[in-house]
């Protein structure tokens, strides 16, 4: 690994952990060193994750490594079953067992016969051979393959959200806004929010929903599997902006033949017009006479960057600035993945326009933290009551942030 001024792209292990840690009625056992899971649990609490999977580490020492012993692994499973009685146990390796070739899948096969009532799901990716986003993708897919059971569709229409994971900034606020919008627009409720607010029971029922809402491209693989297995259609899009959110709702209505409450859409659109009435002319003036000060630059998850960029450029008419993805495996032609050296050169020279990126970068260049759209974060996030970026409420939040940033 090369030298980095900022945090490098996290490993697949972190993607697995951030996806699984929010799931209730489960336990995560890491076959690895004592410190790994401890520091991970602190990071998760900083992100506001207090209820979810129970986190355990086996601890390993030099003898375990040199002799390939797995007794700690077996003893830890016995203890976790006794204390937590979980419905599912997720098993993940840390970097050292992964590098020396410990086969966690075979280790799991040798012990799971003792507890036939428990589902054991082992994961690889403990090393640095894949990144965080691939870890999220494969974890979502494993959950959808291993846990759901065959059920009839719910009597009233329901939906699932796929891809609401703790690595995305404002992951809980954004999924809450989707739930609010779906209730008001269609009068329907979620079955499973995978995985920011869910349990094993919720995941088991995921096939009974009438629609899967995929909010990041890492969830498309899972949605295609669920469509094939349960016949559940899916939409892949993060709804940003006023026109963008209304268009998204109409796509869902057409896809699933849901009755759309047009009065609700009109109400939200009228409210935005009232809230932004005095601001839009100011945007027009800045864009026309001080174009450089209105450039919208974004760095983060490619789907977040794409959604905010579409709203800013297509609805508010902000000119596009410098944009990049923070993942080497997920990017678009006009939102490329850039190494730190490239985007850092832009960030250090940035003095005009709007720059929205990670809290870590914004703190480095002494910018307003309301401009944060991605992690790494620098603050504690103990609750999910702040304003989202997605949906109707997210639209007015972004406009509010942009106009104040331009004025400042």
276-303: pLDDT as tens digits: 999 999 999 999 999 999 999 999 999 9
Across the range 219-238, mean pLDDT stands at 98
pLDDT at 34: 64
Model confidence at 96, pLDDT cuts 50, 70, 90, reads low
pLDDT at 101: 55
For domain 270-407, which CATH number applies: 3.50.50.60, 1.10.3720.10, 3.40.50.1980, 3.20.20.150? Answer: 3.40.50.1980
Across the range 195-218, mean pLDDT stands at 97
For residue 383 the two structure tokens come to 């609750």
Domain 158-259: which CATH class? alpha beta
Across the range 193-208, mean pLDDT stands at 97
pLDDT at 161: 98
Rg (CA), the chain: 22
Q: What is the pTM of this model?
A: 0.94
For domain 12-130, which CATH number applies: 3.40.50.12160, 3.40.50.1980, 3.30.2130.10, 1.10.15.40? Answer: 3.40.50.1980
Of 29-38, 112-121, 195-204, the poorest mean pLDDT is in: 29-38
Q: CA separation (Å) from 206 to 54, 119, 300, 318?
A: 22, 17, 29, 40
Model confidence at 5, pLDDT cuts 50, 70, 90, reads confident
15-67: pLDDT as tens digits: 999 999 999 999 999 887 766 676 677 888 888 898 899 999 887 665 555 55
SS3 track for the chain: CCCCCCCCCCEHHHHHHHHHCCEECEEEEEECCHHHHHHHHHHHHHCCCCCCCEEEECCCCHHHHHHCCCHHHHHHHHHHHHHHCCCEEEEEECHHHHHHCCCHHHHHHHHHHHCCCCEEEECCCCCCCCEHHHHHHHHHHHHHHHCCCCCCCCCCCEEEEEEECCCCCCHHHHHHHHHHHHHHHHCCEEEEEEECEEEHHHHHCHHHCCEEEECCHHHHHHHHHHHHHHCCCEEECCCECHHHHHHHHHHHHHHHCCCCCHHHHHHHHHHHHHHHCCCHHHHHHHHHHCHHHHCEEEEECHHHHHHHHHHHHHHCCCCEEEEEECCCCCCECCECECCHHHHHHHHHHCCCCEEEEEHHHHHHCCCCHHHEEECCCCCCCCCCCCCCCCHHHHHHHHHHHHHHHHHC
311-366: pLDDT as tens digits: 999 999 999 999 999 999 999 999 999 999 999 999 999 989 999 999 999 999 99
Q: Is the model's pLDDT at 218 over the cut of 80?
A: yes
Model confidence at 8, pLDDT cuts 50, 70, 90, reads confident
In the chain, where does the domain assigned CATH 3.40.50.1980 lie? 12-130, 158-259, 270-407
372-400: pLDDT as tens digits: 999 999 999 998 899 999 999 999 999 99
Of 115-129, 133-147, 185-199, 394-408, the poorest mean pLDDT is in: 115-129
pLDDT at 62: 55
Across the range 176-201, mean pLDDT stands at 98
């Amino acid at each position: 690994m090369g030298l980095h001024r900022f945090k490098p792209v996290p490993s697949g292990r972190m993607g697995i952990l951030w996806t699984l840690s929010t799931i209730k009625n489960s336990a995560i056992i890491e076959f690895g060193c004592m410190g790994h899971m401890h520091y991970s649990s602190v990071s998760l609490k900083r992100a506001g994750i207090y209820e979810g999977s129970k986190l355990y580490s086996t601890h390993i020492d030099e003898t375990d490594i040199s002799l390939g012993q797995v007794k700690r692994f077996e003893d830890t499973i016995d203890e976790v079953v006794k204390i937590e009685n979980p419905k599912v146990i997720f098993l993940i390796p840390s970097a050292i067992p992964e590098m020396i070739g410990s086969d966690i899948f075979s280790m799991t096969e040798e012990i799971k016969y003792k507890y036939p009532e428990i589902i054991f799901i082992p994961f690889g990716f403990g090393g640095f051979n894949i990144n965080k986003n691939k870890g999220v993708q494969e974890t979502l897919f494993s959950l959808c393959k291993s846990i759901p059971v065959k059920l009839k569709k719910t009597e009233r229409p329901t939906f699932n959200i796929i891809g609401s994971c703790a690595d995305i900034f404002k992951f809980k606020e954004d999924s809450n806004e989707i739930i609010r919008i779906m209730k008001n627009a269609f009068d329907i409720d979620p079955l499973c929010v995978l995985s920011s607010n869910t349990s094993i029971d919720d995941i088991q029922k995921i096939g009974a929903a009438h629609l899967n809402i995929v909010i990041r491209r890492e969830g498309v693989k899972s949605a295609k599997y669920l469509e094939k297995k349960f016949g559940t259609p899916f939409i892949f899009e993060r709804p940003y902006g006023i026109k963008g959110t209304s268009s998204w709702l109409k796509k869902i209505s057409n896809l699933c033949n849901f009755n759309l409450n047009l009065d609700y859409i009109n109400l939200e659109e009228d409210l935005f017009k009232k809230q932004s009435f005095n601001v839009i002319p100011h945007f027009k003036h800045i864009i026309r006479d001080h174009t450089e000060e209105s450039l919208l630059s974004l760095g983060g998850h490619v789907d977040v960057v794409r959604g905010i960029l579409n709203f800013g450029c297509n609805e508010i008419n902000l000119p596009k600035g410098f944009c990049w993805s923070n993942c080497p495996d997920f990017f678009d032609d006009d939102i490329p993945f850039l190494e730190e050296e490239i985007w850092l050169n832009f960030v250090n020279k940035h003095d005009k326009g709007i720059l929205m990126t990670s809290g870590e970068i914004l703190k480095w260049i002494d910018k307003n933290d309301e401009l944060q759209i991605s992690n790494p974060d620098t603050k504690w996030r103990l609750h999910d009551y702040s304003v989202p970026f997605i949906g109707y409420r997210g639209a007015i939040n972004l406009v509010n942030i942009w106009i104040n940033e331009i004025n400042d």
